[in-house]
Structure 1
Amino acid sequence: MIGIAFDLVLCALIVSVALAAIFGRDLFGSVVLFIVYGLLVAMAWTRLGAVDVALAEAAIGAGLTGVLLVGAVARLRRQDVPEPRPMRPVARAALVAIAALVAGLVGTAIIGLDPAATGLAGNVERRLEASGVGNPVTAVLLNFRGYDTLLETIVLVAALIGVWSLAEDRHWGDRPGLRQHARHQGVLATYGRFLPPVGLLIGVYIVWAGTDQPGGAFQGGTILAAVWLLVAMAGLAEAPAVTARSLRLVVLAGPALFLVVAAAGVFADGFLVLPTRYAKSMIQTIEAGLALSIAATLALLVLGPPQRGTR
């Protein structure tokens, strides 16, 4: 009974916070509610036993996306862009009706599912040993359906290129983001000195454990990106110029390594086919490269386009 009561309260909170974020009159307040919504959804995924999805939602859905939205609101205010006018009641009612219709269709589809059906879980379990890893999510993302993950990493690089393209011509080649200032003995500077080692250990562990336990490159890479951003926000280290060769190599290392491993499979059974004997070590190598690239790419996306000199 306690578990059911908790789930009902959690569902009510998710719906309430979502509605508050949508209908909020203040942009910053809506962004904060969006972050809270992401954390609540992560709790819901945990209750459903989908720990990998919960980690991704907390790190990327709530954490990274929330920081991006906070940065967007701050940029709008610095440029004196007026906040959008509140939606008219008719438009709000139409959105609520559409959302209710979609929710009803999804609910109907879920109720119509066969309770005894397992989907593709059986196929994954039967092939899990051949994948070389013990985590079925990692097996699907980096072995059975590696195409999807490979394209996702390329999309991240394309998004970073899009953000960099927003830079003014006079700033091209400069450092990304604005210069950060923090009091030497302030809270942010203190966190910037003490938290990064802990975050680094957690990020590396989540990447390493992802082969057999919940975790992986995206979750671990997001934590590593947060470590870099904390150090930058504390004013302890400057982000390199966007034209720095080392920075570009790190951004491209993960997708490039993934493509090399995928192409090597052609000499075995086919593109992106990992030999069972070497599958685990190959997946761990891909995950390590992807984690570094994802961390650098996500941090650079948050920092924004080049807009300050290298001196």
Structure 2
Amino acid sequence: MPDLPLPDARFADIPLGLALLVLALWLIATRRDRSAVIGFTAYGLLVAVVWVRLGAIDVALTEAALGGGLMGLLLLTAAARLGEPRGQPAPPMFMRLLVGLLCVGVTGVLAVVVLSLPTPAPNLVAAVAEHQHTTELGNPVAAVLVAFRAVDTLLESVVLALAVIVLWSFAPDAAWGERPRTLELGTPGPALVLLARLLPPLGLVVGVHLFWAGADDPGGPFQAGAVLAAMATLMWLARLGAPPPVQSRLTRVGLVVGPLVFLLIGLAGVVAADAFLGYPEGLTKPLILIIEAVKTLSVAVALALLVAGPPALPGNHLPSRAAS
């Protein structure tokens, strides 16, 4: 029997692209906040599949953890607190047409830019491959983030810590030092409690694996921290634990230890390697693993606290838009 030709794998991208387009249009058309958030979460998971098809596994992991996970939970919590709007008039037709035309214009400009790029498109792949061996890392994405663009990565860690501080500043004076209570959305169902008992041990293993494998394979501290934060948030939603109070010294140390250790190692590089964020020969990979370990902890703490919300007094919740 003759061998039948295998179908082109690219044909699988057609339904994926159509699903993204249909879901994006539905997100624009729906007027229910909760439905839009659920659709946004599904859209994030589909985008993660797109990144897998493009071979960007690190980006896919980040998109799945954030766009399809923590961000969806954050928006769903906000929608539950605010409630559905009542009596809110729809925007006038000319405004909707203007927004639509602007979106079409931006899409057209992006299409022209992408189609006008030379083949192959300009990139720094060759430069990274040439110098990657100096980092002792097998994952080029990790080499770029922790070595070649380490300043950017350091600043991203600082921004996460500052975002939590800004969020805490929204708390009233009387609630300072209390626990966040944004995730107290009622009595959890038995299915959620069961899930919160089963998933965290597995999530802990997956998070540690993503951190450790990220040096040579897809993964890294941000992806690992997002998974760990999701597990903590799941336990808080199921009332199997509670977010720590903002006055907890251990929480504050966990929030800043990543950027602080990153900065101290960078300053030590001025003496040991004649460059800020430079690594001495023979200690490059151990120092990078130390940076990524503490960064994983800080990312997990920061993302979990951002989802938990600002501290509040017992029994106090965010105002409901429906009630107002």
Question: TM tier, shorter chain?
Answer: over 0.9
Backbone CA RMSD of aligned residues? 1.9
Structure 2 counterparts to residues 195-214 of structure 1, below 5 A: 195-214=199-218
The runs of 5 or more residues in structure 1 that have no matched partner are none
Secondary structure of the structure 2 residue equivalent to 1:307: coil
Corresponding position of 1:8: 14
Q: Distance in 1 between matches of 2:87 and 2:29?
A: 14
Task: Provide structure 2 residue ranges, at least 5 long, that are not aligned to the other structure.
Answer: 1-6, 316-324
Show CA shifts across 1:58-85 (max 9, x none): 11122111111111112212xx865854
Q: State the match for 1:297 in structure 2.
A: 302
Q: Tell whether the 8 Å contact from 1:125 to 1:136 is kept in structure 2 after alignment.
A: yes
- Contact 1:181-1:233 within 8 A present in 2 as well: no
Matched, 1:284 2:289: yes
Partner of residue 76 from structure 2, selected from 60, 70, 75: 70
Residue identity matched to 1:26:
R
Return the offset for 1:5: 2.3
- Aligned counterparts, 1:52-201, within 5 A: 52-77=58-83, 82=86, 85-117=89-121, 119-178=123-182, 179=184, 182=187, 186-201=190-205
2:269 aligns with: 265
Give the letter for the 1:133 counterpart: L
CA–CA separation in structure 2 for the residues paired with 1:82 and 1:51: 42
Cα distance between partner residues in 2 of 1:180 and 1:235: 10
Q: What SS class does the counterpart of residue 75 from structure 1 fall into? A: helix
1:37 aligned partner: 43
Are residues 88 and 242 of structure 1, via their aligned partners in 2, closer, same or farther at CA, if it must alter by over 3 Å? same
- The percent identity for this pair of structures is 41
Q: CA deviation at 1:86?
A: 3.0
User: Does the residue aligned with 2:312 lie in a helix, a strand or coil?
Assistant: strand
Cα separation, 2, equivalents of 1:101 and 1:31: 26
Report the TM-score, using the length of structure 2 for normalisation. 0.89
Indicate if the aligned counterparts of 1:222 and 1:294 stay in contact, CA closer than 8 A: yes
| Shift in alpha-carbon separation, 1:83–1:12, aligned structure 2, 3 A | farther
- Which moved further from structure 2: 246-255 or 271-280? 271-280
Q: Is the 8 A contact 1:181 1:235 kept in 2?
A: no
Cα 1:292–1:25 change in 2 (3 A) is same
Q: Which of 308, 312, 319 is equivalent to 1:307? A: 312
Contact 1:143 1:272 in 2 (8 A): yes
Correspondence for 2:318:
none
Q: Of residues 15, 24, 32 in structure 2, which corresponds to 1:26?
A: 32
Mapped contact 2:30–2:36 kept (Cα < 8 A)? yes
Give how far 1:107 is off.
Answer: 1.5
User: Does structure 1 retain, via aligned residues, the 8 Å contact 2:211–2:220?
Assistant: yes
Alpha-carbon distance in 2 for matches of 1:125, 1:83: 58
C-alpha separation in 1, matches of 2:211 and 2:53: 23
The alignment of Structure 1 onto Structure 2 pairs a total of residues equal to 307
* Structure of larger gyration radius: 2
CA contact (8 A) 1:27 1:83 kept: no
- Matched position secondary structure for 2:71: helix
Retained in 1: the 8 A contact 2:174–2:313?
no
